[in-house]
């Protein structure tokens, strides 16, 4: 690693991965909103909307998966701190006849943010939809996982630019 390149906070002076020391940071109220989408056949979308899946309430199970994922994020993302998840809201909306969008809002009072928890939850919700509907549509595509909004902490507020 050369000295003229900026060093990631997740790397030590020798370039090895490390967990960032947040012990001196103050506890602040923080929130993050993330989204992910899953594209499917129109028939699959109709089945979900009509509650016709043989496996049960697809969106209900996906909502629970998203909530659970927020709590498990540090087990999935190696350098992510375990933080108290204090609130989780999960919303689903079909943006057209083939695309389901999941939006997750996560809140906490902690020394670090909840961006990773929100993005992990949105992805987990879409993966759960895939799992529950794969018997009728194996070609579903998951994508567009992104942070939409982050607030709190030293970094302040971040709002993503709209996608075109």
Q: Give the containing element (helix H, strand E) for 144.
A: strand 141-151
Residue 149, pLDDT above cutoff 90: yes
Alpha-carbon Rg for the chain, nearest whole angstrom, is 18
Per domain, the residue ranges of the chain are: 33-159
Mean pLDDT of 46-53: 95
Distances (CA, A) of 33 to 10, 43, 64, 93, 105: 23, 29, 17, 15, 4
Mean pLDDT of 128-133: 98
Residue 116, pLDDT above cutoff 80: yes
pLDDT for 66 equals: 98
The b/e string for 14-52 (b: 16+ C-beta within 10 A; e otherwise) is eeeeeeeeeeeeeeeebbbbbbbbbbbeeebbebbeeee
Catalytic residue among 4, 57, 96, 131: 131
pTM reported for the whole predicted model: 0.91
Q: How confident is the model at residue 154 (pLDDT cuts 50, 70, 90)?
A: confident
Q: Is 131 a catalytic residue?
A: yes
**At the topology level of CATH, where does 33-159 sit?**
Alpha-Beta Plaits (3.30.70)
pLDDT for 1 equals: 39
At 2-13, the pLDDT tens digits run 444 555 687 888
At 15-35, the pLDDT tens digits run 888 888 899 999 999 999 999
């Amino acid at each position: 690693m050369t000295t003229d390149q900026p060093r990631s906070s997740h790397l030590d002076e020798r370039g090895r991965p490390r967990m960032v020391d947040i012990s001196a940071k103050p506890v602040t109220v923080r929130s993050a909103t993330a989204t992910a989408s899953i594209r499917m056949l129109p028939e699959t979308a109709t089945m979900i909307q009509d509650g016709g899946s043989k496996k049960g309430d697809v969106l209900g199970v996906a909502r629970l998966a998203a909530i659970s994922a927020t709590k498990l994020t540090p087990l999935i993302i190696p350098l992510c701190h375990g933080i108290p998840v204090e609130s989780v809201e999960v919303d689903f909306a079909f943006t057209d006849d083939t695309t389901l969008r999941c939006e997750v809002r996560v809140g906490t009072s902690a020394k670090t943010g909840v961006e990773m928890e929100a993005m992990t939850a949105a992805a987990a919700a879409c993966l759960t939809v895939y799992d529950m509907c794969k018997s009728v549509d194996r070609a579903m595509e998951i994508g567009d996982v992104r942070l939409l909004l982050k607030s709190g902490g030293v970094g302040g507020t971040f709002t993503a630019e709209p996608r075109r």
